[in-house]
Amino acid sequence: AKAEGRARYKFFNQELTKTVRARLEIEAELRHAIQNNELLVYYQPQYDTSSNTIVGAEALVRWAHPSKGLIPPIYFIPVAEATGLISAIGNWVLNSACQQCATWFAQGLRDFTLAVNLSPYQFLHGDIEQNVAATTAKTGFPAQHLELEITEGTLMDREIDAIKIFTALRARGVRIAIDDFGTGYSSLAYLKRFPLDALKIDRGFISDLPDDSDDAAITLAIIAMAHSLKLNVLAEGVETEAQLNFLQEASCDFYQGYLKSPAISAQDFEQLLKAEK
Ligand code: C2E
Ligand code: CA
Ligand code: CA
Ligand code: CA
């Protein structure tokens, strides 16, 4: 039994060492990736629910790893969050996406809203207002077309700061959206206190529509609440026509999801914009 316990301990220890080493490796490689321009911005189009035309694009980061290929964010965003590297990545994404979209606007492609994710760390430790001001000034991207997506948890932790930061950003014309709405803290009181512009209904509530009656009720309630608070509402992760029909009937303003398009490269998104023009 003792030997068995030792063996188990050794196993756990090795696993732990592996995990720590993997994390350190990712961290070192990620630092390198930022310096070597291995990060890319992909764009997922956002659609108007009634006209089915593109009204926005969410910037989603990808890592073009020289040997491992295109790495999705779930493999490196958590490490970046834990190490603070997310500030450098987040600022890079903001700058790169604003630069790209400013170029498209200058070419006369249709206007749309650029949505950029803001991580909790970036929001609480960085000077986001200063970064936005510097980026819009440098790239010429109009702040009125920028929307920042923030998850609920971030807000509850630092309510006073969040209200100040949102107010300053909104004074510049930037819009604020709550990401993954419905999955965070259950207090709805902050919807009244925070200066907000939009709610993004989490994919978890959308995926079983229209058959799951609980999800249907929750989705309808979020849409009704958003509208009575004068907020826009977007459904995430729309994959089927049946889901879209439900959202159309429910007067949900916008949607994004695989039904229309996954996140795609800048070149592909440009083609999509041109085709719609
Ligand atoms: P998110 O902000 O909730 O982004 C939506 C995710 O859902 C994206 O995954 C998108 O590709 C995926 N998705 C879109 N439509 C569908 C659909 O119809 N079905 C399904 N199953 N999935 C769909 P992605 O690109 O892998 O990003 C994952 C998460 O990584 C994002 O979740 C966001 O939290 C984070 N992330 C991505 N880029 C950034 C960034 O630049 N900064 C920060 N802080 N986080 C980022
Ligand atoms: Ca998002
Ligand atoms: Ca989301
Ligand atoms: Ca369900």
Is the shortest distance between the CB of 75 and ligand 1 below 6 Å?
no
For ligand 1, atom 35, the nearest C-alpha belongs to: 73
Query: Per the structure block, which two tokens stand in for 170?
Result: 């909104």
71, 76, 77, 81 alpha-carbon torsion, rounded to 10°: -170
Is the shortest distance between the CB of 258 and ligand 1 below 6 Å?
yes
Is the shortest distance between the CB of 93 and ligand 1 below 6 Å?
yes
Pick left, alpha or beta for residue 230 (phi over 0 → left; psi -120 to 50 → alpha; otherwise beta). Answer: left
Q: How far is the CA of 7 from the centre of ligand 2 (A)?
A: 43
For ligand 1, atom 27, the nearest C-alpha belongs to: 73
Is the shortest distance between the CB of 180 and ligand 1 below 6 Å?
yes
Is the shortest distance between the CB of 77 and ligand 1 below 6 Å?
yes
Is the shortest distance between the CB of 257 and ligand 1 below 6 Å?
yes
Q: What is the mean pLDDT of residues 248-269?
A: 98
Interface confidence (ipTM) of the complex? 0.97
pLDDT at 162 over 60: yes
pLDDT at 39 over 60: yes
- More confident call, 3 vs 239: 239
Q: Residue 10's pLDDT is what? A: 65
Give the chain's mean pLDDT. Answer: 91
pLDDT at 157 over 90: no
Q: Which atom of ligand 1 is nearest to 72's Cα?
A: 26
Q: How far is the CA of 91 from the centre of ligand 4 (A)?
A: 35
Q: How far is the CA of 117 from the centre of ligand 3 (A)?
A: 9
Between CA 88 and CA 164 the distance in angstroms is 23
Q: Residue 210's pLDDT is what? A: 96
Q: How far is the CA of 214 from the centre of ligand 4 (A)?
A: 7
Q: How far is the CA of 60 from the centre of ligand 1 (A)?
A: 6
User: 177-201 burial, b if ≥16 CB within 10 A, otherwise e?
Assistant: bbbbbbebeeeeebbeebebbbbbb
pLDDT at 261 over 70: yes
Q: Residue 192's pLDDT is what? A: 84
Q: Which residues pair with 179 in a beta bridge?
A: 151
Full-model pTM: 0.92
Question: What percent of the chain stands above pLDDT 90?
Answer: 71
Is the shortest distance between the CB of 71 and ligand 1 below 6 Å?
no
Residue 242 one-letter amino acid: A
98-143 pLDDT tens trace: 999 999 999 999 899 999 999 888 888 878 999 999 999 999 999 9
Per-residue confidence at 154, pLDDT binned at 50, 70, 90?
A: confident
Is the shortest distance between the CB of 244 and ligand 1 below 6 Å?
no
65-106 pLDDT tens trace: 988 899 999 999 998 998 889 999 999 999 999 999 999 999
Q: Residue 188's pLDDT is what? A: 76
Per-residue confidence at 45, pLDDT binned at 50, 70, 90?
A: very high
Is the shortest distance between the CB of 126 and ligand 1 below 6 Å?
no
